[in-house]
Structure 1
Amino acid sequence: MTTPDERLGQVTELPEGVRLQFRRSWPDPIDDVWAALTEPDRMVRWIGTYAGERRPGGAGTFTMTHEETPVGEPMRIVECAAPRRLVVDWQTEEGWRVELDLTAEDGQTVLLFTQLFAPGTQVTDYVLGWHWYLDKLDAEVGGRPAPGDWDDFLATTGRAYGRTPSGG
């Protein structure tokens, strides 16, 4: 299982943009982690819903239902190689691409979450948001308690990213 320090997102400035990566691991089988990432009844418990075609090239609407004001956004499945790799594009102004890669390492299932932002993007809020959602995924996969509400999460985790509950 991932330790608290290992749970932090890693931000790297690259010529093509700002890369955010998280690495999480569980003793659970890769198929179980994949199911938590992709099956509707499990996805809704940690992140939201997807209504649309579930295949490479498929398009639909993704709604992050745990947001203060959930909004459905167009999404396209770029790659899907179950149970190892899922790449999706949010078809919004920012043009987000998220890559989810699962591997088996030393009896653990390891998730590598990667998102590349445009050069110069201030990513702290995105890092915190994804950290919170990945903690919710950890609770879904491992059967542990989910992180508290956003304010509680920010109070306990925000400092690791230079953010305090008052926004400082």
Structure 2
Amino acid sequence: MTTQDERLGEVTEVADGVQVQFRRSWPDPVADVWSALTDPDRTARWFGTYDGERRVGGSGTLTMTHEEGASREPMRIVECDPPRRLVVRWESEQAWRIELDLAEEQGRTVLVFTQVFPPGTDAGDYVLGWHWYLDKFGAEVSGAPGPGDWDTFLAATGPAYGRPAG
């Protein structure tokens, strides 16, 4: 069983900025976890939709449907090595790069989520947001209940990141 502390993201200073990293695992096969990351029907349930080319170098629009106002962002697929690695880059002024790596360890599929922000970034709100999305992702993989709405999640999880509960 995963405890709350094991689900927390780590924020560390690295040479090129501030790194946010999460490590999550499930007893499900790598192929199923990969499907939850990339299958359009499944990603819509936990994150959003992607309309565009589904290949390395392909670009399109990501609509984060679980955000207030359903933000639309241009996105590019930087790397894709099914079912092990997916790297995407937001092509907006934020220019975010997200790395998603899957591996099997001791009969479990492990996801390592990594994002590096520019030096000096206060990553507190970002780490909370990704934690919420990864809890939603975990619910999609396992069929367990999700984290609930944002306010409920923030009240329960915000203090672990030094943020007020609401």
Measured against the shorter chain, the TM-score band is: over 0.9
Counterpart check, 1:37 vs 2:40: no
Calculate percent identity across the aligned residue pairs.
69
Q: 2:108 — aligned with what? A: 108
Q: 1:118 — aligned with what? A: 118
Report SS of the residue matched to 2:156. helix
Q: 8 Å contact 1:124–1:161 — kept in the other structure?
A: yes
Matched residue count: 166
Q: 1:152 — aligned with what? A: 152
Q: 2:131 — aligned with what? A: 131
Q: 1:90 — aligned with what? A: 90
Deviation at 1:164, TM superposition (A): 1.4
Counterpart check, 1:55 vs 2:61: no
Could you report, residue by residue, the CA deviation over 1:46-67 in whole angstroms, capped at 9, with x for unpaired residues?
0000000001000000011000
Question: Whole-Å Cα distance in 2 between the matches of residues 2 and 103 of structure 1?
Answer: 17
Q: Point out where structure 1 has 5 or more consecutive residues left out of the alignment.
A: none
Question: Whole-Å Cα distance in 2 between the matches of residues 28 and 2 of structure 1?
Answer: 14
Q: Flag as ranges the 4+ runs of structure 1 deviating above 3 A.
A: none
Counterpart check, 1:5 vs 2:5: yes
Code of the residue aligned with 2:55 in structure 1: it is R
TM-score, structure 2 normalization: 0.98
Report SS of the residue matched to 1:34. helix
Question: Whole-Å Cα distance in 2 between the matches of residues 24 and 14 of structure 1?
Answer: 21
Code of the residue aligned with 1:161 in structure 2: it is Y
Q: 2:21 — aligned with what? A: 21
Deviation at 1:163, TM superposition (A): 0.8
Deviation at 1:77, TM superposition (A): 0.1
Question: Whole-Å Cα distance in 2 between the matches of residues 50 and 151 of structure 1?
Answer: 26
Counterpart check, 1:163 vs 2:160: no
Q: 1:77 — aligned with what? A: 77
The Cα RMSD (Å) is 0.8
Report SS of the residue matched to 1:163. coil
